[in-house]
Amino acid sequence: MADAPPETLPFWVEAEDEAGDAMGLLGGDPVLRAVPLGPLRRNLAATVDALQEVFKDVAARGGTLPLAEAQLSFQVTASGGVQLIGTGQVQGTRGLTLTFRLP
């Protein structure tokens, strides 16, 4: 019998308060948590789908400098959420990077 796929993955995430809210984007002390893959899979897929629509609209504009690549950083929450990092001031912090390239 094959091993079942994991239901969680260990991630270093920010500590959450009693309501389950992150204590502050990338500013808190990280804690190791078992992040549920179901919500993470759904949230990451929805984020990528939305970003691909945005990139498609931008690429359709053409112009002299067409979009050839985009990089975005994101953070995973303990509950499997995905938070995009929207400022250049947090470069070099604890985050994952998605890179989208034209084929």
Instruction: Say which amino acid occupies 23.
Output: M
Long-range contacts formed by 14-20: CB under 8 A, 24+ apart: 14/75, 14/77, 14/78, 16/77, 16/78, 16/79, 20/78, 20/79
Highest mean pLDDT among 23-27, 44-48, 53-57, 65-69 belongs to 44-48
Quote the pTM value.
0.73
Average pLDDT over residues 33-43: 94
What is d(CA 59, CA 66) in angstroms, rounded to the nearest whole number?
A: 6
pLDDT at 56 over 70: yes
